[in-house]
Structure 1
Amino acid sequence: MRLRNYLSFVTRAKSLEELWAAHTKEMAWFGFDRLLYGYTRYRTETSFGDPEDFVILSNHPKEYVEGFVYSGLYFHAPMLRWALNNEGAGSWRLINQMVASRTLTPAEQKVYEFNREMGVTVGYTISFNSVSARSKGAISLCARPDLGQDEVDAIWEAHGEDILLMNNIAHLKILTLPHVAPNRALTRRQREALEWVGDGKTTQDIAMLMGLTPATVEKHLRLAREALSVETTAQAVMKAALHNQMFVIEA
């Protein structure tokens, strides 16, 4: 499935699972067998938000994702710092240059050593265009263990434009698909109640429309707030919409 067929497939993908399976296969064809995609809508000057709200997709081993993402190492990763200040593709040769010049901070050195232990040393990072100051997305493409950075740079010279296009299209598609951490998923009733709130209905209206008591409607809204980890129903509506959980077409 090269470029034309890939783009046609991506436009028709119905789920993150379907899209990610195809994307990892295509990137492996180019020599990148381990990917880590991350996206946040909750970035501030000092934080990327709650990791539970990140969209994280990866085919790295579980221990790598847990060590790199959920232990917080990602925050000090040199290529992530590069991604925050740049858009497009960046070779991991930059890390080797920082090591050689001894310009890594202690925190960055810790990330470098972790990645080296896990065999994550050769590859490219793509930083996607941001649509707001609060959002940021990037993907790291780790090369097969038998490839060196010189070989990967040569692959990029030959196929980089296609690889960049494929990743940008995949990123844009990901933004349209429902995504949420398992403990933040809404039930059908919770989602329906929030949808009616989003349409401007009162609790009494929603109770009549859903055939429930007002107390039961309030219960669904409370559980939706808890699932999404927000304080108000208005925040729940906004967060559910950002995660593409509102007005979902049921299979």
Structure 2
Amino acid sequence: MKDTLDYIEAVMNETSLEALWDRHVLRMADYGFDKIIYGYTNFRSGLSLGDVEDFFILSNHSRDYLDKFLGEGLYFHGPMMNWTLKNTGAQSWNIAHKAMQSGQLSDRQRQVYEVNQQYGMHAGYTISFPTVSSRTKGAISLGAHQDLSQHDVDEIWARKGRGIELINNVAHLKIHSLPYTNPERELTKRQREVLEWVGDGKTIQDIATLIGRTPATVEKHLRLARDSMNVETTAQALLKASFMHQIYLPESQT
């Protein structure tokens, strides 16, 4: 228990996303899970998870696997995806193995299952995190070391699963609290500043006065902010930047 509490305390004190993820990867490896992918979206709508470009992804998988799994859209047809969208908590991959053996997987699900096998994703657990709204979804896939069978993993989970699920939930909450950027969605300091003033209810003229620039310059920065967020309106840019923790940052992070 002390070891778990020490880990949780260390996670909660992390201020760097990179350091937090490195710590979590090492911790999961201690339990036998050495192939991990964490995903989160604020843009879920029904069964759609939104644009993959807006997903927040952390992983220690090979680039080749991620290009195939995410880039080719295999993620949505993963055997565990249907369970993840409908449930909260932890689930053994044994249900996917049983569905495969009984012929219950669709053609696309079977294709993804076979790709996962090719990349050594033959045993593991998936944790689906509690959601705060119908627009959000977060989950983590814990792929086991190649020397472990699904039976081995289920035995590990029977002994240590409660603690593993707890620290993954803590890591999820901490990850979600830290600023992150997609290089194609990153705001400049000036774009961030004008969006923050918009969020405070200031007009274009007000912002121009506050930052010592012309209204036309303010409009330019807002347009570039909309382009960075890949949205049509300033309100949408403000919302997406907020979701991505790119505005109202402490001075040390700007």
TM-score in terms of structure 2 length: 0.96
Secondary structure of 2:80's counterpart equals: helix
- TM-superposed CA distance for 1:179, in Å, is 2.0
Match of 1:91 in 2: 92
Which string of whole-angstrom CA distances, capped at 9 and with x for unpartnered residues, describes residues 147-166 of structure 1? Answer: 11111111111110110000
Unaligned runs of 5+ in 2: none
Residue by residue over 1:148-202, the C-alpha shift from the partner in whole angstroms, topping out at 9 and shown as x without a partner, is: 1111111111110110000001111111111231110101000000000000111
Classify the secondary structure of the residue corresponding to 2:249. coil
**1:211 and 2:247 correspond:** no
Contact 1:3 1:162 survives alignment (8 Å): yes
| Equivalent residue number for residue 115 of structure 2 | 114
In the alignment, which residue of structure 2 is the partner of 1:22? 23
Superposed CA deviations along residues 49-87 of structure 1, whole A, max 9, x for unmatched, are 011111100000011111111210011111111111111
SS in 2 for 1:38: strand
SS at match of 1:184: coil
Is the partner of 2:7 in helix, strand or coil? helix
Partner amino acid for 1:243?
Answer: M
Are the counterparts in 1 of residues 47 and 85 from structure 2 also a CA contact under 8 Å?
no
Aligned to 1:104: 105
Higher mean C-alpha displacement, 28-37 vs 77-86:
77-86
Tell me, which stretches of 5 or more residues in structure 1 are unaligned?
A: none
Mapped partners of 1:206, 1:15: distance in 2: 31
Secondary structure at the aligned position of 1:44 is classed as coil
- CA deviation after TM superposition for structure 1 residue 46, in Å: 4.1
CA distance in 1, matches of 2:55, 2:203: 31
- State whether residues 123 and 140 of structure 1, in contact with CA within 8 Å, keep that contact through their aligned partners in structure 2: yes
**Residue 201 of structure 1 corresponds to which residue in structure 2?**
202
Structure-1 residue corresponding to 2:6: 5
- Matched residue type, 2:123: V
Question: SS of 1:161's equivalent?
Answer: helix
CA distance in 1, matches of 2:251, 2:188: 12
How is 1:41-190 mapped onto 2 (pairs within 5 angstroms)? 41-190=42-191
Distance 1:39 1:2 in 2: 27
What are the Cα deviations for residues 119-153 of structure 1, in whole angstroms up to 9, with x where unaligned?
A: 11110000111111111111000000111111111
1:237 aligns with 238
Number of residue pairs matched? 251
Q: State the alpha-carbon separation in 2 of the partners of residues 108 and 43 from structure 1.
A: 21
Given that 2:131 and 2:138 are in contact with CA atoms closer than 8 Å, whether structure 1 keeps it comes out as yes
Structure 1 distance, partners of 2:216, 2:87, is: 50
Instruction: Report runs of 4+ in structure 1 exceeding 2 Å deviation.
Output: none
Instruction: Give 3-state SS (helix, strand or coil) of 2:135's partner.
Output: coil
With over 3 angstroms needed to count, the CA separation of the structure-2 counterparts of 1:64 and 1:84, relative to structure 1, is same
Q: Share of identical aligned residues, percent? A: 53
- How far apart, CA to CA, are the structure 2 residues paired with 1:36 and 1:5? 24
Give, in whole Å, the separation in 1 of the partners of 2:55 and 2:101: 33
Q: Please tell me the residue identity of whatever aligns with 1:192.
A: E
3-state SS, counterpart of residue 147 of structure 2: coil
Once residues 78 and 250 of structure 1 are traced to their aligned partners in structure 2, the CA distance between those partners, rounded to angstroms, is 44
Matched with 1:192 is: 193
- Indicate if the aligned counterparts of 1:2 and 1:26 stay in contact, CA closer than 8 A: no
